[in-house]
């Protein structure tokens, strides 16, 4: 009988692997550990952690992505450290670049820490293996998917990222003057299909006849591919593009600068600084807020989220749309006026979602 546990959904690297990987080096910053030091410390410890009904007193964050100055991992580190200080729990961050060491590192962390956190879709199989081997350790899988069957010591956290894309569509349609907008994703994954359709749905609340082009680069790390697709879209009359392609977004930015047309980023809330007169803002995913919510639960003596798949969104202040604070003063007066009017529509839609009077559609069918 096969009693293996596998994640539902894609096990390969997804768009949330957008952080720039720094080869096979270990990135060390304050409060982090190089992998060899971490492995040595764990393996040389003569005693395992003490598991009692009392609240957990130690937290480890094991990431397949480098902190490297990128906001999502840095935000998770900050959330972990903040929770650790609030609950008098020791914390440790470790970056593991070698996929063959994911499971072993999680196992070693679980030997010494009460709570083990990992993040991003590629950690599904490793976290399932480690959790099965350490039933008394509490595991948190950020940007995860449901496990089948569920495991009582694992909470998987997913996101309604498409909500932010819906709001991005409202703003894009409001700013556009050609009635043609575009979407560029990294790969044809169900969640990215849903992002496209939400973006299109939001846009059509403003302009029912607007044209919404969609395309996938085929990679989350191909700026050249992003540039080529974006340049083609802009050349066809599209004047606003929403990115959803991680590092490939850089190519879209290059095309936007060359054409002097508009775009909206995904996830990176500081991207607007690269072109304040062209970047409208970003569809947001607040990794730090997400982890903080889960740690507040996991650090209690009795943990109620184990075995669950938790989906967070706008109501949790985890997803949404964050406008550029500089576009209105950097762009032309006409564009700034359209932007301001569009953000009023976005805020109205956000309020409707929060009150329950608006449900944003989630559709994973292939894009046209």
d(CA 265, CA 281): 6
How many Cβ atoms sit within 10 Å of the Cβ of residue 311?
A: 14
pLDDT for 311-323, tens place per residue? 999 999 999 999 9
Does position 17 have pLDDT exceeding 50, yes or no? no
pLDDT for 222-257, tens place per residue? 999 999 999 999 999 999 999 999 889 999 999 999
Does position 7 have pLDDT exceeding 50, yes or no? no
What three-state secondary structure class fits 209?
Answer: coil
Does position 360 have pLDDT exceeding 80, yes or no? yes
Average pLDDT in the chain: 87
pLDDT for res 22: 28
Domains in the chain, ordered, with CATH? 6-159 (3.40.50.2300), 161-286+319-355 (3.40.50.2300)
Nearest partner of 311 among 177, 202, 163, judged by Cα: 163
pLDDT for 199-212, tens place per residue? 999 999 999 999 99
pLDDT average, residue stretch 134-159: 95
Q: How confident is the model at residue 38 (pLDDT cuts 50, 70, 90)?
A: low
pLDDT for res 19: 33
pLDDT for 56-90, tens place per residue? 999 999 998 888 766 788 999 999 999 999 999 99
Pairing assessment for the beta strands 115-119 and 32-33 based on DSSP bridges: unpaired
For the record, the structure tokens of 217 come out as 């680069």
Q: How confident is the model at residue 39 (pLDDT cuts 50, 70, 90)?
A: low
Q: How confident is the model at residue 122 (pLDDT cuts 50, 70, 90)?
A: confident
- Write the CB contacts of 339 (distance below 8 Å, at least 6 apart in sequence): 171, 174, 175, 280, 323, 327, 328, 331
pLDDT average, residue stretch 103-109: 97
């Amino acid at each position: 009988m096969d009693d293996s546990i596998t994640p539902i959904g894609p096990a390969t690297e997804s768009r949330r692997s957008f952080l720039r990987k720094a080869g096979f080096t270990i990135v060390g910053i304050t409060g982090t550990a190089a992998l060899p030091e971490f492995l040595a410390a764990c393996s040389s410890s003569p005693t395992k952690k003490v598991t009692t009904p009392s609240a957990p007193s130690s937290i480890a964050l094991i990431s397949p992505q480098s902190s490297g100055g990128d906001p999502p991992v840095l935000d998770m580190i900050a959330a972990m450290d903040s929770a650790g200080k609030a609950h008098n729990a020791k914390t440790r961050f470790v970056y593991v670049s070698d996929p063959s060491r994911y499971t072993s590192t999680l196992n070693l962390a679980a030997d010494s820490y009460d709570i083990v956190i990992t993040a991003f879709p590629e950690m599904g199989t490793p976290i399932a293996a480690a959790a099965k081997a350490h039933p008394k350790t509490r595991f948190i899988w950020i940007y995860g998917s449901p496990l089948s069957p569920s495991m009582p010591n694992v909470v998987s956290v997913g996101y309604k990222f498409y909500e932010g894309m819906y709001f991005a569509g409202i703003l894009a349609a409001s700013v556009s003057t050609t009635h043609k907008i575009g979407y560029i994703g990294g790969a044809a994954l169900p969640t990215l299909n849903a992002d496209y359709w939400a973006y299109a749905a939001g846009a059509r609340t403003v302009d029912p006849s607007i044209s919404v082009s969609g395309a996938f680069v085929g990679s989350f790390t191909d700026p050249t591919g992003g540039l080529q697709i974006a340049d083609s879209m802009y050349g066809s009359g599209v004047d606003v593009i929403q990115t959803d392609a991680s590092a490939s977004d850089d190519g879209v930015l290059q095309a936007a600068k060359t054409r002097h047309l508009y775009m909206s980023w995904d996830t990176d809330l500081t991207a607007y600084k690269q072109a304040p007169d062209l970047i409208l803002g970003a569809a947001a995913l607040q990794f730090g807020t997400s982890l903080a919510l889960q740690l507040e639960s996991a650090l209690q003596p009795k943990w109620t989220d184990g075995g669950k798949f938790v989906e967070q969104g706008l109501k949790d202040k985890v997803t949404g749309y964050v406008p550029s604070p500089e576009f209105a003063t950097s762009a032309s007066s006409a564009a700034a006026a359209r932007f301001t009017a569009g953000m009023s529509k976005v805020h109205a839609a956000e309020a409707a979602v929060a009150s329950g009077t608006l449900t944003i559609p989630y559709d994973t069918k292939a894009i046209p």
